[in-house]
Structure 1
Amino acid sequence: MVLGAEVGLTLNYVIDSSCSKFKNRHAIGMAMEEPLTYKVFYERIVALAARLRDEGVEKGDHVAILGENSPNWGIAYLAIVRLGAIAVPILPDLPESDVHHILKEMQVKILFTTQKLIEKVYELSRELKGPVITLDDYEGTSGVISVTPFTRYLNEAVIALRSSSEDLVFPVVEEDDIASILYTSGTSGFSKAVMLSHKNLTSNAYAASSLMEVESGATWLSILPMSHTYEFTCGFILPLLYGCRIAYAGKTPTPAILQKLCSHEHPYVIFAVPLVLEKIYKKRVLPQIEKSRLLSLICKTNIGRKFIYRRIGKKLLKFFGGNLALMGIGGAALNPEVERFLSEAGFPYLIGYGMTESSPLVAGGPSGDKTIAIGSTGKPLSGVDVKIVEPDSETGIGEIYVCGANVMKGYYDDLEATAAVLGSDGWLASGDLGFLDDAGNLHVCGRSKNVIVMANGENVYPEAIEHKINAFNWVVESLVIDNNGKLEAWIYPDYEFIDEKTAGSSRLERRTYIENLLETMRGELNSQLSASSRLGKMFERREPFIKTATHKIKRYLYYGQAVLG
C-alpha cells in the first residue's frame, strides 16, 4: 500500500486510478513486442520511485531524461514525479551545446539517458554528481562516464519493494507542484525553460479526453518524442487515462516502416505532425493521380475529385492498419491542400493548436463537429478560454491569448520573461496571430514575429505563401523572407523528383531544369498573390532547413541572410 494524500489533478492520482481500474490490461511497450500490463507498469513506477528516494532524490529536486521513446522513459518520468521531484525531459535532437546548457542550469541529481545520446554529456562527466542510468541498458565502454543499466537498477528496486514489510511513504504531492521543466525549441530562438505543474498537464489531458469517445484497450501508436509536451500529454497521459495500450515506434519511422508497424498494431489513434501526412500525400497520393490521364481529368471537377479522393482515402486507412479512428495533427500548420484532401477523402483527422506554455493543447475538434472549418484548429478545449487581443478592424486578426488550468506557472528563474507573456489575471500571450470565426473555430495565421510589414503598410503572412509553395510536388519545404522590402523565397527541392526527371542529363541541363521550375512556379504563385505579396526572387536551397522537434523551421537562423546557395 502506498501512503500519502493525493488529489485528483496530480499525475500520481491519474496513474493510481488507471492502474487500479485497468490493472490486467496492456499498458505500454515497444511496437511489435509484448507490452507491460498496468499492474506491472505500476509496480515498476513505485519500485523505482522508492529506489530514487533512497538515492537521495527529494521533493523539488531536478532529474533529467535524455532518451528516445520507450516504456522505461515513461517509468522513469512517473517515478520522478511520484516523489514530488521535477522531471526535466530533454529533446533527443537538441545539439550538444543545448544539452550542456540545460544540465548545467538544472543541476540534476540523476540523469537517465541512452547509448545513442550519452556522447552529448561526456564533456560534463565531472559535473554530473549523481548516477547516470541507461534506459536501453547500455553498459558503457568508453570509461568516460560510469553508468548503471536501467533493468538492473529497476530489478534491484523491485526485489527490495517485494521483500519490504513496511508501507511505502512518499512526499505529499499537490496539483500545483511543478511536475516538469521543459525547454522550448521554438522558431524564434532563445529557448526558455517552461514550468508545468501536475494540474497543468492533467487538466489538459482530461480536457482532451472529451474530444472523442475511446474504449479502454485501444492501441495508440506513438511516433513523436515523449519529451515534447504534444506527445507527452496526447500520446502518453491521455491514453493512460482511457486505459489504452501505447505502442512505441522507436525512432521516427519512414513511411514504409510506419506501414509495417500499423499493419501489425492496427492502431486506433496516432498523433502526428503535418510532415507525416504531407509526405504521404506527395509521395503516394499525388503520383497516383498525376501518372494517370484519366484520374487527372476526373479530378478537374469537384464531384470527380471527391470520388477519387474517397477511394484513395480507403487505401490510406488500410495503410494505417485499417482500424484508425483518429489521426491527431499538431505541432505545426498543416498545408491547406493536404487538409482538403483528408476532408474529402473521409479520413478521420483532427487538427489541434497549442504550445508548450499551455501544456500544450488550446484548441482542437471535437470529433464529429460538422461546424469545424477547414483551415481552422477547431474549438477551444473545455476549460480553456481564448480571446483575440487588438483585432484588425477589417480582418479580425489579432494576437491569440489563452487562459485556463493548463497555462504554465512561468519560465524557470526568469521573472522578466514570464511577466512579458503571462499577466496577473492568468491570460497568456501566445505570440500567435489568429481569429475566431462565427462558429467559434480558432484560425491561426502565423507568429506575430514572422509578419512582414510591406512599404504600403500591408501585413504579409509568410506561412500562407509557404503553404502555396509547398503544395508543388517537387518542393519539400520553403522559407519566405523580406530582403530590403522585397519578398524572396528559398526552396529546398525534392531531389528524388529532380533525379527522376533529369535522368541522363548533364549538370548544366539539370541546373537549367531547376531554374525553370523555380521561375515557372514564381509566375504561377504571383498570379494568385496580391501585388505586395508577390515574390521577387526564388533560390534553390541544397540542404534541409534546421527545424524544431515538431518540424517547424527555426526562422531566426535565417533572418538577415539575403541569399542562400
Structure 2
Amino acid sequence: MSLTTTHTQGLAELSEQHTLLTMLQDRADRGGDSILAERRDGTAFVPVTVDEFVATVDAVAKGLVALGIKPGDAVGIMAPTRYEWTVLDFATLKVAGLVVPVYHTSSRTQVEWMVSDSQVRFLFVEGADQAQLVEPLLDSTCLEKIFVIDADSDADGALEQLREAGRAANISDAQLAELSASVRYDTVATVCYTSGTTGRPKGAELTHGNLLAHCYHGVADPGLRHVVTPDENGVQKRTLLFLPPSHSYGRFAQMLCVHSGSVMGYAPSTSRLVEDLQEFKPTWLIAVPRVFEKVYNAADARAGSGLKLRIFRWAARVAQTYSMALDTAAGPSLKQRWRLRVADRMVFGQLRAVMGGALEVAISGGAALATRHGHFFRGIGVTVMEGYGATETTAPASVNRPGKIKIGTVGAPYPGTSLRISAEGEVQVKGTGVFRGYRNNPEATAAAFTEDGWYRTGDLGSIDDDGYLKISGRSKEIIVTAGGKNVQPAVLEGALRSHPLIGEVMVVGEGKPFIGALVALDKQMLASWLRNHGEDSSLSIAEASQNPAVRASIERAIELANEKVSRAESIRKFVIVHREFDERRGEVSASTKLIRRVVLEHFADEMRELYGE
C-alpha cells in the first residue's frame, strides 16, 4: 500500500469537554459584537451579531426543552440554506439533542425512512407545501410535531412558537446550561444520510468531535488559516452559503464560519446566485464543480458571437496558459504576463465583478473539477482549492492549499487526516473527521472499515511523491461491457460536463456491446447557445435534441472526450434525453452526484433507443 499522513504540527489540542457548543461560546468570548451572519430581509442583507445569534439560539432551545425534547432526542430540519437552519441546528445541540438534516427536495418516502430510522420527534420544514407533504408521517411514524418556519404569520412561525413556549414554561438559563454541559466531544451531534447512490440512504453518525476537530484543525493550518480568519486589520472574511446544510459539505462550511470568524450569508436558491454574489461580495466560497462550469459557460454565452466571442475565448486561453506556466520552473514569460494584463482589463475584471468583485479563493468538492477550469479561474485571479471528501469523513479528507496548488489533484491530506491507497487502488481514510458508523446498521459499518480501522471510500486514486491525491473514479461505478472491458465513466463524464450545452451526462454500457451516453441539455444555457449560433432560440429541449447544429456540437465534444481513453472505452453512440436530470425525481443528489440506478430506470426508453433493444 502507498501511504501518506498529514503533518501533526500546529494541530489544535482538544479535550473531552470541547464541543460545538464550547466553540460557539469561544466565538462569543472573542467578540460578541462581531458579525456572525448576514440574513436577507426583503432586498437587503442584514447583519446579525454573535450575541444576537446566541440569544436567539438560547430562546429557541428553551422552547425545545419546554416541549419535551430530551438529551439524545432527534430533531429533523427540512429546509434550504437559510439563517433559521443555523439557529435550529445550534438550539438542538444546546439541549443535547441530535440533528437530522433532511434535504428540502426529499420525497415523502425518503423523509419517512429518515424519520423512522433516527426516531425523529420534531420536524422543521420551510413552508406549507413541505408540511402538507410530510403530514401523513404524524400517523405512520414516531414523528410528533411539524413546525413551519415560514408560516402565514410571524406568530405562527417555528422560531416564535419555540420562543413563546420557552417563556411560558419559564425555562431558566441554568437548566439550559446543565443540558449543554452534558454534551461531550464524542457525543453524536448529527445523523447525515448519504445520497443513496447504490441503495437505501445510510445514516452516518458524526460526533461533536468530528465537526469540531475539522474546524479547529483547519483554522490552525498555516495554509488554510488566512482564507477564513480576519485579516491583520481585523476585517472579517465573507462567504455566501448556497450548498444545503443538509449535506455534510455545506454543514461543515457553516461550522467553520462560526469558529473562524468569517461572516456567512445565505443564498437559498441558485436561481439568483449571481445577484446574491454581487450584493454580498464574498471573499471565499465553497462550491461544487458545476457552479464553476456554469460561471464559465455563462460568461462564454454572454460574449455572444463575432469579435466579442473571439476576444473572450482568447482571454480564456491566456488565463489558462498563464496558470499552467505558474507550475513550471521558469514561471510565466514576460509575454504571458503582458497578455494577462491586457486580458484582465478587457475581460477578467468584469467577470470578477459578476462574482462580487472581492472573491479570492473558492473551494471545490463533490466531484472532479475540469483542469481547464481550474487553470482559467486561477489565471483570472480566483484560486480554486480543489478538495475531496465524503459524508463519512465530515466533508474534507484532502485539499489543495493556497500557494501549494496542484491542479488536477484534490490536494494533500486535510489536517488531522491520513490517506492511503490499497492494493486494489482504493482510497482509504483515517483521522479525526472519520465518522463512527452508520445508524442502526452494524453490517454496513463493518463493511465500511478495513480490519485495521481505515474507512473504505470506494473511490479509486493514487498519491504522488508530494503526498497529493488524485481521484481516477469510483469502484462501484466501473462499467463492464459485454466484451469484458472495464470502463471508468468519470473520465468521459468530466470532460463532457464542461460543454456549455451539456447540463449533465451519464456514460452507460454495463453488459452492453459498446459504451454509450445519455446526454441532458442545460436548459438555462440552451437559448443563448442557439442564438449565438444563428439558430432559433425558442426551441424546446425536445426540439433542440434533433437540431443538426446541436447534435454536431455534442458529437464534436464526444470526439474530444474520446481522445482521453482507448477505443474500447470510447463513446460510440449518444442519446439526448427529453429533459434535464432532476433532483426532485431522485436522479441527482443534493451534492450533484448522479443516482445511476434511478436514471437508468427513468430513462429506460432512451436506453432501448441507444442499444436498439
Check whether TM > 0.5. yes
Question: What residue number does 1:125 align with?
Answer: 138
Q: CA contact under 8 A between 1:189 and 1:554: conserved in structure 2?
A: no
Tell me, in whole angstroms, the C-alpha distance in 1 between the residues paired with 2:414 and 2:204.
21
**1:268 counterpart (278, 283, 303):** 283
Q: Residue type of the partner of 1:38?
A: V
Tell me, in whole angstroms, the C-alpha distance in 1 between the residues paired with 2:39 and 2:105.
20
Shift of 1:33: 3.0
Q: Residue type of the partner of 1:547?
A: V
Tell me, in whole angstroms, the C-alpha distance in 2 between the residues paired with 1:289 and 1:487.
34
Question: What residue number does 1:36 align with?
Answer: 48
Q: CA contact under 8 A between 2:483 and 2:513: conserved in structure 1?
A: no
Deviates more, 1:128-137 or 1:203-212: 128-137
Question: What residue number does 1:548 align with?
Answer: 589
Question: What residue number does 1:55 align with?
Answer: 67
Tell me, in whole angstroms, the C-alpha distance in 2 between the residues paired with 1:508 and 1:15.
52
Question: What residue number does 2:205 align with?
Answer: 195
Tell me, in whole angstroms, the C-alpha distance in 2 between the residues paired with 1:338 and 1:482.
28
Question: What residue number does 1:395 align with?
Answer: none
Shift of 1:329: 1.3
Q: CA contact under 8 A between 2:242 and 2:266: conserved in structure 1?
A: yes
Tell me, in whole angstroms, the C-alpha distance in 1 between the residues paired with 2:561 and 2:144.
57
Tell me, in whole angstroms, the C-alpha distance in 2 between the residues paired with 1:98 and 1:246.
29
Tell me, in whole angstroms, the C-alpha distance in 1 between the residues paired with 2:544 and 2:22.
65
Q: Is the alpha carbon distance of 1:7 and 1:37 closer, same or farther for their aligned partners in structure 2, counting shifts above 3 Å?
A: farther
Question: What residue number does 2:410 align with?
Answer: 377
Shift of 1:298: 7.3
Question: What residue number does 1:135 align with?
Answer: 149
Q: How many residues end up aligned between the 2 structures? A: 543
Tell me, in whole angstroms, the C-alpha distance in 2 between the residues paired with 1:509 and 1:368.
44
Shift of 1:364: 0.7
Q: Is the alpha carbon distance of 1:477 and 1:350 closer, same or farther for their aligned partners in structure 2, counting shifts above 3 Å?
A: same
Q: Residue type of the partner of 2:80?
A: E
Q: CA contact under 8 A between 2:77 and 2:124: conserved in structure 1?
A: yes
Cα deviation 1:429-484 (Å, max 9, x = unaligned): 00111111122111111211112345776543211111222233322221111151
Question: What residue number does 2:473 align with?
Answer: 446
- SS for the counterpart of 2:387 is strand
**1:246 counterpart (241, 252, 264):** 264
- SS for the counterpart of 1:551 is coil
Is structure 2 residue 490 aligned with structure 1 residue 481?
A: no
Question: What residue number does 2:24 align with?
Answer: 15
Shift of 1:173: 0.7
Q: CA contact under 8 A between 2:492 and 2:564: conserved in structure 1?
A: no
Deviates more, 1:82-91 or 1:67-76: 67-76
- SS for the counterpart of 2:136 is helix
Q: CA contact under 8 A between 1:99 and 1:120: conserved in structure 2?
A: no
Q: CA contact under 8 A between 1:379 and 1:442: conserved in structure 2?
A: yes
Q: CA contact under 8 A between 1:25 and 1:38: conserved in structure 2?
A: yes
Question: What residue number does 1:466 align with?
Answer: 493
Question: What residue number does 2:124 align with?
Answer: 112
Shift of 1:82: 1.6
Tell me, in whole angstroms, the C-alpha distance in 1 between the residues paired with 2:72 and 2:18.
18
Quick one: percent identity of the two aligned structures? 25
RMSD: 3.0
Shift of 1:168: 4.2
Q: CA contact under 8 A between 1:181 and 1:194: conserved in structure 2?
A: yes
Shift of 1:261: 2.1
Task: Identify, as 1 or 2, the structure richer in helix.
Answer: 2
Shift of 1:19: 1.7
**1:212 counterpart (225, 239, 259):** 225
Q: Residue type of the partner of 2:514?
A: K
Tell me, in whole angstroms, the C-alpha distance in 1 between the residues paired with 2:435 and 2:422.
20
Cα deviation 1:229-283 (Å, max 9, x = unaligned): 101112x11011022321112x2223xx333223322212221111111111112
Tell me, in whole angstroms, the C-alpha distance in 2 between the residues paired with 1:515 and 1:178.
51
Tell me, in whole angstroms, the C-alpha distance in 1 between the residues paired with 2:55 and 2:529.
54
Q: CA contact under 8 A between 2:117 and 2:439: conserved in structure 1?
A: no
Question: What residue number does 2:433 align with?
Answer: 406
- SS for the counterpart of 1:322 is coil
Question: What residue number does 1:283 align with?
Answer: 298
Question: What residue number does 1:228 align with?
Answer: 247
- SS for the counterpart of 1:558 is helix
Is structure 2 residue 328 aligned with structure 1 residue 318?
A: no
Q: CA contact under 8 A between 1:22 and 1:243: conserved in structure 2?
A: no
- SS for the counterpart of 1:206 is helix
Q: Is the alpha carbon distance of 1:50 and 1:536 closer, same or farther for their aligned partners in structure 2, counting shifts above 3 Å?
A: same
- SS for the counterpart of 2:452 is coil
Q: Is the alpha carbon distance of 1:309 and 1:99 closer, same or farther for their aligned partners in structure 2, counting shifts above 3 Å?
A: farther
Cα deviation 1:517-540 (Å, max 9, x = unaligned): 444444444455322122221111
- SS for the counterpart of 1:9 is coil
Tell me, in whole angstroms, the C-alpha distance in 1 between the residues paired with 2:544 and 2:315.
37
- SS for the counterpart of 2:75 is strand
Q: Is the alpha carbon distance of 1:57 and 1:298 closer, same or farther for their aligned partners in structure 2, counting shifts above 3 Å?
A: closer
Q: Residue type of the partner of 2:26?
A: S
Residues 52-131 of structure 1 aligned to structure 2 (within 5 Å):
52-115=64-127, 116-126=129-139, 127=141, 130-131=144-145
Residues 512-527 of structure 1 aligned to structure 2 (within 5 Å):
512-527=548-563
Tell me, in whole angstroms, the C-alpha distance in 2 between the residues paired with 1:356 and 1:340.
28
Q: Residue type of the partner of 1:549?
A: A
- SS for the counterpart of 1:180 is strand
Question: What residue number does 2:402 align with?
Answer: 367
Question: What residue number does 2:10 align with?
Answer: none
Unaligned runs of 5+ in 1: 1-5, 141-146, 392-397
- SS for the counterpart of 1:349 is strand
Q: CA contact under 8 A between 1:8 and 1:14: conserved in structure 2?
A: no
Deviates more, 1:520-529 or 1:417-426: 520-529
Cα deviation 1:266-307 (Å, max 9, x = unaligned): 212221111111111112136539643753567777468873
Q: Is the alpha carbon distance of 1:163 and 1:437 closer, same or farther for their aligned partners in structure 2, counting shifts above 3 Å?
A: closer
Tell me, in whole angstroms, the C-alpha distance in 2 between the residues paired with 1:41 and 1:299.
43
Cα deviation 1:471-520 (Å, max 9, x = unaligned): 33322221111151410011112432564343299969954444444444
Q: Is the alpha carbon distance of 1:164 and 1:315 closer, same or farther for their aligned partners in structure 2, counting shifts above 3 Å?
A: closer
- SS for the counterpart of 2:458 is strand
- SS for the counterpart of 1:35 is strand
Shift of 1:43: 1.9
Shift of 1:153: 2.3
Normalising by the residue count of structure 2, what TM-score does the alignment of the two structures yield? 0.81
Shift of 1:365: 2.0
Q: Residue type of the partner of 2:269?
A: T
Q: Residue type of the partner of 2:516?
A: E
Question: What residue number does 2:387 align with?
Answer: 352
Q: Is the alpha carbon distance of 1:471 and 1:258 closer, same or farther for their aligned partners in structure 2, counting shifts above 3 Å?
A: closer
Tell me, in whole angstroms, the C-alpha distance in 2 between the residues paired with 1:46 and 1:509.
55
Normalising by the residue count of structure 1, what TM-score does the alignment of the two structures yield? 0.87
Q: Residue type of the partner of 2:597?
A: Y
Shift of 1:139: 5.5
Tell me, in whole angstroms, the C-alpha distance in 2 between the residues paired with 1:521 and 1:335.
14
Q: CA contact under 8 A between 1:337 and 1:471: conserved in structure 2?
A: no
- SS for the counterpart of 1:120 is helix
Shift of 1:181: 0.6
Tell me, in whole angstroms, the C-alpha distance in 1 between the residues paired with 2:544 and 2:144.
58
Q: Is the alpha carbon distance of 1:309 and 1:456 closer, same or farther for their aligned partners in structure 2, counting shifts above 3 Å?
A: farther
Unaligned runs of 5+ in 2: 1-14, 323-334, 582-586
Question: What residue number does 1:237 align with?
Answer: 255
Shift of 1:162: 9.2
Q: Residue type of the partner of 2:575?
A: F
Shift of 1:400: 0.4
Q: CA contact under 8 A between 1:136 and 1:150: conserved in structure 2?
A: no
Tell me, in whole angstroms, the C-alpha distance in 1 between the residues paired with 2:100 and 2:504.
31
